[in-house]
């Protein structure tokens, strides 16, 4: 199979259109789009698409003065792709401009716009020093507005800077984090994750085949640490895929049941457990309908907007528009009620969402405390290494933001609360 740079750019454009026009998240389309390319060009196409999505707001600001009116979505994406290559990647402008013109001509209906693309990108290339003077890329209004209401301007700007910076690679060790850090050339964070700032192919890192670790953002590793399961405890991981938390729980010696509604995603959980030589009972079921009760502890990583993961998934704010929020809020409340019903008296629940939205975190806990007499927030559960006191809120939950640990590469946005059932 042979492919080349032009094929990679064509696929990158298709990915951009999948996200911005058709509202698809990249994981939904990557495999199909990348399959015709050879390995090197698959990586190039994915990187070009991700870079363009990450800088999209800045690219639009760069293009604004040169466009009398906005062109079609496809042409706009070609221009954005060109700006990202010229200004962000510092690629040779002449080759990029010619490549973008070729992309225009692939659609005969828009061939007439090749002159526009050529002219605009040449102007961009002549004014490239303006790029670094533009603001850090801002989130789309549908998401930025509620975040401003929740946190204020300074925190939103810091969050956007974290998104623009991207994310390092975090690993969770099955054994000793210090030993893993030495093996892979990483750094052990205070909360126990191993962070790599530079890495190649993940599966080629030392210890992958042996199952010594798994990929898991430092923030995503915190809920299982807060739950603090013990050997022999019966523990339920609701909404378990892709399985990082399941493996953390299993590694403590607990008896773990992992539930997820997706058979495909559960296969990935099973594969990860097998690679790491860990055991858990896996069940494909709707968490709301799961009825096996009597657990000592439950970890509920509820379906959410995933707005805390944008530094790793810059496609998310352009594939979504917030219309799903009300249904998600309702589902989260139902899942909290279900999780509590599955606990033994005196059992404990850790509720978490990889979201920056207070409605998916703090407000869910406030409402749950109102609905359930005797339910309490366990503040002491947060007294573990790596958690700073000012990360806790007035309720006793843990609010993690993308701009935390910014000098080391940030972390995903999460809300985590430990609850005890009366």
Both 253 and 175 in one domain: the answer is: no
Angstrom distance (rounded) from CA 348 to CA 335? 15
Do 260 and 407 share a structural domain?
yes
Mark residue 121 as left, alpha or beta (left: phi above 0; alpha: psi -120 to 50; beta: remaining). Answer: alpha
Domain that holds residue 74: 5-133
249 shares a domain with 182 = no
- Look up the CATH number of the domain holding residue 347: 3.40.50.150
Query: φ, ψ for residue 345 (rounded to 5)?
Result: -55, 130
209 with 224, same domain? no
Answer yes or no: are the C-beta atoms of 258 and 283 closer than 8 Å: yes
Number of domains the chain contains: 3
Return all residues near 133 (Cβ < 8 A) that are at least 6 apart: none
Q: Which residues contact 361 (CB under 8 A, 6 or more apart)?
A: 353, 355, 397, 399, 415, 417
First to last CA, the chain: 62
Residue where one domain finishes, among candidates 109, 133, 157: 133
Q: What span, in angstroms and rounded, lies between the C-alpha atoms of 279 and 292? A: 19
Together in a domain, 321 and 399: yes
Residue 159 lies in a domain: no
Q: For position 208, which CATH number holds?
A: 3.30.70
What residues pair up with 298 in beta bridges, in sequence order? 236, 349
Q: Among residues 87, 276, 304, 354, which one is catalytic?
A: 354
Residue 135: partners with Cβ closer than 8 Å, 6 or more residues away: 57, 58, 61
Q: Which of 226, 237, 230 is nearest to 269 (CA)?
A: 237
The answer to whether residue 138 is domain-embedded is no
Which residues have C-beta within 8 Å of that of residue 315, sequence separation ≥ 6?
A: 19, 25, 26, 49, 50, 53
| DSSP run (H or E) holding 164 | helix 153-165
Any domain includes 149? no
89, 107, 133 — which closes off a domain? 133
Residues 202, 293 share a domain: no
B/e letters for 370-384, b = 16+ CB within 10 Å, e = fewer, are: eebeebebbeebbee
The gap from C-alpha 176 to its chain's centroid, in whole angstroms, comes to: 26
Phi, psi of 38 (to 5 degrees): -75, 165
Place of tokens 């935390």: 404
- Is 142 within a domain? no
**Token pair for 405:** 């640990």
Residue 117 lies in a domain: yes
Do 174 and 105 belong to one domain?
Answer: no
- Same domain for 24 and 83, yes or no, is yes
Domain identity same for 193 and 247: no
Helix (H, G, I), strand (E, B) or coil at 300: strand
- pLDDT at res. 3: 54
What CATH number does residue 22 fall under?
Answer: 1.10.940.10
In a domain, residue 341? The reply is: yes
Could you tell me if 314 and 204 lie in one domain? Answer: no
CB atoms within 10 A of CB 107: 13
Clarify whether residues 187 and 229 are in a common domain: no
Any domain includes 369: yes
Both tokens of 421, joined, read: 């059932």
Q: What is the DSSP letter of 160?
A: H
Contact residues for 16 (Cβ-Cβ < 8 A; gap 6+):
49, 52, 53, 77, 80, 81
| Residue 87 is a catalytic residue | no
Of 82, 115, 133, the position where a domain reaches its end is: 133
DSSP 86: I
Examine residue 189 and state whether it is found in any structural domain, yes or no.
yes
- Distance in angstroms (rounded) separating the CA atoms of residues 111 and 74: 12
Whether residues 241 and 124 share a domain: the answer is: no
- How confident is the prediction along the chain (422 residues), in pLDDT tens digits per residue? 445 667 999 999 999 999 999 999 999 999 999 999 998 999 999 999 999 999 999 999 999 999 999 999 999 999 999 999 999 999 999 999 999 999 999 999 999 999 999 999 999 999 999 999 999 999 999 999 999 999 999 999 999 999 999 999 999 999 999 999 999 999 999 999 999 999 989 999 999 999 999 999 999 999 999 999 999 999 999 999 999 999 999 999 999 999 999 999 999 999 999 999 999 999 999 999 999 999 999 999 999 999 999 999 999 999 999 999 999 999 999 999 999 999 999 999 999 999 999 999 999 999 999 999 999 999 999 999 899 999 999 999 999 999 999 999 999 999 999 999 98
Show the 3-state SS of 177-240.
Answer: HHHHHHHHCCEECCCCCEEECCCCCHHHCCCCCCCCEEECCCCCCHHHHHHCCCCCCEEEEECC
């Amino acid at each position: 199979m042979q492919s080349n740079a032009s094929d990679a750019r064509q696929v990158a454009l298709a990915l951009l259109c999948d996200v911005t026009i058709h509202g698809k998240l990249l994981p939904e389309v990557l495999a199909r789009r990348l399959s015709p390319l050879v390995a090197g060009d698959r990586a190039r196409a994915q990187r070009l698409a991700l870079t363009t999505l990450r800088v999209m707001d800045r690219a639009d600001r760069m293009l604004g003065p040169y466009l009398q009116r906005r062109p079609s979505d496809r042409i706009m994406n070609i221009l954005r792709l060109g700006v990202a290559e010229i200004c962000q990647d510092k690629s040779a402008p002449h080759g990029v401009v010619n490549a973008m013109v070729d992309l225009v001509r692939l659609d005969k209906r828009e061939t007439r716009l090749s002159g526009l693309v050529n002219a605009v990108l040449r102007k961009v290339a002549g004014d490239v020093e303006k790029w670094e003077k533009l603001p850090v890329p801002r989130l789309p209004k549908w998401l930025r507005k509620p975040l401003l209401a929740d946190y204020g301007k300074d925190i939103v700007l810091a969050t956007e800077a974290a998104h623009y910076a991207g994310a390092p690679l975090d690993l969770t060790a099955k054994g000793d984090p210090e030993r893993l850090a030495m093996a892979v050339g990483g750094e052990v964070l205070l909360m126990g994750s191993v962070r790599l700032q530079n890495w190649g192919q993940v599966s080629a890192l030392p210890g992958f085949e042996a199952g010594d670790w798994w990929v898991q953002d430092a923030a995503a590793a915190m809920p299982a640490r807060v739950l603090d399961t013990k050997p022999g405890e019966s523990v339920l991981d609701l909404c378990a895929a892709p399985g990082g938390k399941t493996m953390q729980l299993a590694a403590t010696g607990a008896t773990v049941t992992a539930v997820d509604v997706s058979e495909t995603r559960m296969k990935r959980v099973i594969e990860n457990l097998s690679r790491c030589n860990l055991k858990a009972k896996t069940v494909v079921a709707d968490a709301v309908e799961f009825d096996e009760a009597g657990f000592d502890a439950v970890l509920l990583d509820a379906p959410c907007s995933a707005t805390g993961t944008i530094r790793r998934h810059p496609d998310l704010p352009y594939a979504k528009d917030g219309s799903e929020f009300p249904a998600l809020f309702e589902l989260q409340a139902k899942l909290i009620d279900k999780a509590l019903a599955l606990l033994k008296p005196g059992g404990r629940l850790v509720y978490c969402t990889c979201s920056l939205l207070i409605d998916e975190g703090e407000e869910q806990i406030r409402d749950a405390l109102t609905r359930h007499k005797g339910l309490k927030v366990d503040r002491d559960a947060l007294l573990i290494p790596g958690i700073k006191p000012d990360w806790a809120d007035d309720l006793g939950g843990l609010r993690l933001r993308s701009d935390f640990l910014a000098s080391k590469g940030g972390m995903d946005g999460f809300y985590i609360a430990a609850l005890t059932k009366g």
